[in-house]
Amino acid sequence: MKKRFLTSILVTALAVSMAGCGSNSESSNKQEGSSDSEPYTVTMVLQGTQQPDEERIEEKINEVLEKELNARLDIVVLPWASAGQQLQLMLAGDEKIDCFYTSATNATQYMHSGQIVDMSELIDEYGTNLKDIYGEDILKGNSINGFLYGVPNQIERGSIPSIFMRKDIVEKYNIDISAIKNPEDLEAIFETVKAGEPDMTMLYSINEGDTPASRLFGGDTLSDSNRLGVLMDQENDTTITNYFASDWYKQTTSMLYDWYQKGYISKDAGTNTENWRTVCKAGNLFSLFFAYHPGTPVEFKSSTGYDFEIVSFRDYPIKNCQTYNGIVFSIAQNSENPEKTMEVLDYIYGSSEIMNLLNWGEEGVDYVLEDAENGIINYPEGITTDNVGYSLNLGWELPNQFIGYKWSGSDPKLWEKMEDFNSSAKSSKAVGFYFDDTEYESQIAALANIVKQYSGTLDSGSADPEIYLPEFLDALEAAGINDVIAAKQEQFDQWLAESK
């Protein structure tokens, strides 16, 4: 008797709590028509540092949006590290969220679990600015089986693997940087500098993210952070191969291990958790591998206080698989008015006024124009990073930074140079391709663990590839990397055939 009672409570509760999520989305579409009178508030979720005066800026933005589109904007900034999880939860509940910043990897996941909407028709109808900026082809590139999961932000397209060396040290030791053609050529330089600066770390290294090996890699990872199957020669070859089994990987990790043993790379590289900028600022770092684009020299100078000599290992940038889907905006299934959301989003792509408000705050309060002609700004008198009310300063995360102001110290022609840089880029064979891996989730989950076990130590140079690499490759094979690569190749070939 009691048992049955309990079961029935639980079942009712279950039905109530679970069914809610489904019905929610259906009721949403009904409200479209009524939005004429009351302005619709678009909730936009970003990632970064919470700004104290967010509401003041939202008011400013709303003055414009209410007049132009009968809409309002509500920004929600989630903290860096927890944003992924918080966003996941917000999309699972029936919370107010309209559009958000994400990447293809996550967006496709949301697509499969029905948490975002297909944007293709919305763009056709409301995407005027977007079509102007990108053209239809690139916009439609971010879709899987006709489902458009996100629109790209305006950022640099492609990058060039380069070595960044502290200028003062280069000058002190009279280093001839024109002699550097390949990464291997750095060895002699490290030797000279190390002899003079025994306490200094020659090359920055860490075990995930900005590892020397991944920063040097010139191929196309196909948007896979675990690099399970990549294009080694992205401009010419369409064969997907095992990155970790390549000669390049073996040579590079051997080189790094050699440097590690010679003390050029920190003995703590495998456990390092400090960003290179922090290390560099402390005055203890000579060089690092990083991706070059026209914005980097200024950013590096302002975040570390040092000038850098830059030598690139390639003459031109290459657009790869991630170029247009690494940073995108998607529209949530929770949105009560996807049309209005699309309209507002598209409007921001074309409005320098709103871009500046979003990124830099209010003119005269949060910033002043330093060089009106070139659109360069700085803090007003008495305002610093510590007490500024609003200064998001994350242009790349917002729809279109290219139409906004630039911070003091930037190249006056930064955006023009960026456009040149982008147009000089050659293309990988896989631009626009995205591997839909839903069928292989359990293999990939197992493979991800293996990659994290070995690649961090190898990529950072802190393990001997002679010993670890064969073990690594065996483990990958046992966990089925070849199946994943074959599946990727199959989808890629099909995609190539269709897109021609």
Q: Which of residues 341-400 bind another protein (CB under 8 A)?
A: 385-386, 393-397
The stretch near another protein (CB under 8 A) out of 203-211, 307-315, 354-362, 425-433 is 203-211
Binding mask 57-86 for another protein (x = CB under 8 A): -------------------xxxxxxx-xxx
Q: Is 197 exposed, middle or buried (0-12, 13-18, 19+ CB in 10 A)?
A: middle
Q: How far is the CB of 432 from another protein (least distance, A)?
A: 17
Return the residues of window 398-437 that contact another protein according to CB under 8 A.
none
Q: What angle do CA 145, 147, 152 make, to 5 degrees?
A: 115
Query: Based on CB atoms, which residue is closest to another protein, 65 or 269?
Result: 269
Q: How far is the CB of 174 from another protein (least distance, A)?
A: 26
Q: How far is the CB of 52 from another protein (least distance, A)?
A: 9
Q: How far is the CB of 114 from another protein (least distance, A)?
A: 3
Rounded Cα–Cα distance for residues 498 and 496 (Å): 5
What's the token pair of residue 428? Answer: 């990988």
The stretch near another protein (CB under 8 A) out of 120-128, 188-196, 235-243, 443-451 is 443-451
User: Is residue 208 a contact residue for another protein (CB under 8 A)?
Assistant: yes
Would you tell me how many other CB atoms lie within 10 Å of the CB of residue 458?
26
Return the residues of window 3-62 that contact another protein according to CB under 8 A.
9-10, 13-23, 25, 48-50, 54-55
The stretch near another protein (CB under 8 A) out of 118-126, 263-271, 337-345, 423-431 is 263-271
Rounded Cα–Cα distance for residues 94 and 86 (Å): 13
Query: Based on CB atoms, which residue is closest to another protein, 104 or 175?
Result: 104
What's the token pair of residue 393? Answer: 């300063």
Pair 197, 173: CB distance under 8 Å = no
Would you tell me how many other CB atoms lie within 10 Å of the CB of residue 328?
21
Q: Is 140 exposed, middle or buried (0-12, 13-18, 19+ CB in 10 A)?
A: middle
What's the token pair of residue 178? Answer: 């024109």
User: Is residue 236 a contact residue for another protein (CB under 8 A)?
Assistant: no
Q: How far is the CB of 246 from another protein (least distance, A)?
A: 20
User: Is residue 105 a contact residue for another protein (CB under 8 A)?
Assistant: yes
Rounded Cα–Cα distance for residues 75 and 204 (Å): 36
User: Strand, coil or helix: what is 372?
Assistant: coil
Query: Based on CB atoms, which residue is closest to another protein, 92 or 188?
Result: 92
Query: Based on CB atoms, which residue is closest to another protein, 227 or 340?
Result: 227
Closest CA relative to residue 289, chosen from 427, 160, 390, 173:
160
User: Is residue 282 a contact residue for another protein (CB under 8 A)?
Assistant: yes
User: Is residue 109 a contact residue for another protein (CB under 8 A)?
Assistant: yes
For residues 204-230, one letter each, b for 16 or more C-beta atoms within 10 angstroms of the residue's C-beta and e for the rest, the string is bbbbeebbbbbbbbbbbbbbbebbbbb
Number of residues engaging another protein in binding (CB under 8 A) = 110
User: Is residue 266 a contact residue for another protein (CB under 8 A)?
Assistant: yes
Closest CA relative to residue 44, chosen from 87, 108, 3, 82:
87
Rounded Cα–Cα distance for residues 151 and 283 (Å): 40
User: Is residue 273 a contact residue for another protein (CB under 8 A)?
Assistant: yes
According to CB under 8 A, which one of 449, 482, 494, 499 is a site residue for another protein?
449
Query: Based on CB atoms, which residue is closest to another protein, 239 or 453?
Result: 453
Residue 181 dihedral angles phi and psi, to the nearest 5°? -115, -40
Closest CA relative to residue 73, chosen from 333, 334, 355, 402:
355
DSSP for 176-209 reads -GGG--SGGGHHHHHHHHHHH-TTSEEE---SSS
Q: How far is the CB of 111 from another protein (least distance, A)?
A: 10
Query: Based on CB atoms, which residue is closest to another protein, 233 or 396?
Result: 396
User: Is residue 470 a contact residue for another protein (CB under 8 A)?
Assistant: no
Query: Based on CB atoms, which residue is closest to another protein, 16 or 195?
Result: 16
According to CB under 8 A, which one of 456, 473, 485, 487 is a site residue for another protein?
456
Query: Based on CB atoms, which residue is closest to another protein, 128 or 408?
Result: 408
Return the residues of window 143-162 that contact another protein according to CB under 8 A.
155
According to CB under 8 A, which one of 56, 131, 167, 277 is a site residue for another protein?
277
According to CB under 8 A, which one of 142, 143, 351, 455 is a site residue for another protein?
455
397 Cβ partners below 8 Å, 6+ apart? 46, 47, 48, 101, 153, 327
Q: How far is the CB of 418 from another protein (least distance, A)?
A: 12
User: Is residue 94 a contact residue for another protein (CB under 8 A)?
Assistant: yes
Query: What beta strand segments (E) does 285-389 contain?
Result: 285-292, 308-312, 318-319, 328-331, 368-371, 376-378
